[in-house]
Amino acid sequence: MILSEEKALLCLNLLVEGNSVRSTERITGVHRDTILSLLETVGKKCLWLQETLVRDVKVGFVEADEIWSYVAMKDKTKNAEDISSDQIGSAYTFTAIDAESKLIVAWHLGTRTEEHAVTFLRKIRNAVDEETVFQISTDAFGAYKNTVPAILGRQAHYGQIIKTYASVQDQTRYSPAACTGCKKKRIHGSPVKKNISTSIVERQNLTMRMSMRRFTRMTNGFSKKWDNLNCMLAIYFAYYNFCRSHKTLDNATPAMAANLTKTIWSLRDLLEVSKDVSSPRI
């Protein structure tokens, strides 16, 4: 990189702590095009990191969810302009977190369809130790009902959290409707009913919205390109797993709690590892 390592680290640190590209430009004096180039370079190699290092993970209770964002424009505008591209409009980030280590076992950027749910579940299967039998919980997204048993088979006991919400009369509200009920349902295998939960992964959704400007609602910080969003997610999840310590884990990182590494990585470590990768598989 032409950009100095110190400047690169500062830019990355600002991005994973919730700053937008333009605010990072103002703080660092680095042009936004250079920041986006850095984002792409490091992001693509962090994809390799997730695929290579998060492997053979021993998990007990996995929670999965999807968090909404959008690229370039919302679906209302997309439909009005008759745009057919899948990489414009609503974008859902599928995440699977181990409830004990807080490790992001797998993630996937796509649309909320069965096709992308299958891709996401295959990533979970590839990351988890093949001899480990675990429990997985999701919301009531219909695409999971048949795909979880088909992809994970006997390795996973599967339960759903089914929530009901009050009807909303005010169409201008920005907060979700009040939850009026919650039911736990066994779908596949023999999941422990009391451990069917999505509370930890939903808390992780909040962390994502706080840590990435692209997920902050009612701002103009949304992603303009699908690839940029994918690269930012890759950097965030690598930082979250290997660099960010958690008080609930005695100030260890999720990667340490999952026995993937013995030390807390710095952003410099993350950058050094990613620089060693010449041909990431995306």
User: CATH code at 264?
Assistant: 3.30.420.10
Prediction pTM value: 0.91
Residue at 282 is within a domain: no
Alpha helices by DSSP H, listed for the chain, are 5-16, 21-28, 32-53, 75-80, 114-127, 144-152, 199-211, 226-242, 254-257, 267-275
Question: Which residue segment(s) compose the domain that 30 sits in?
Answer: 5-275
pLDDT at 273: 76
pLDDT one-digit tens code per residue, 199-243: 999 999 999 999 999 999 888 899 999 999 999 999 999 999 999
Mean pLDDT, the chain, as a whole number? 91
Residue 280 belongs to some domain of the structure: no
pLDDT, one tens digit per residue, over 163-186 is 887 776 655 555 667 777 789 999
With a CB cutoff of 8 Å and minimum separation 6, the contacts of 280 are 44, 45, 47, 48
- pLDDT tens track for 52-98: 999 999 999 999 999 999 999 999 999 999 999 999 999 999 999 99
**Residue 220, pLDDT score:** 87
Question: Residue 282: its pLDDT value, please?
Answer: 32
Number of domains in the chain: 1
> For residue 281, is it within any domain?
no
In a domain, 79, yes or no: yes
Measured between alpha carbons, how far is residue 244 from residues 203, 249, 253 in Å? 15, 11, 6
Residue 156 in any domain: the answer is: yes
Instruction: Choose among 12, 257, 207: nearest CA to 93.
Output: 207
Q: How large a percentage of the chain has pLDDT more than 90?
A: 83
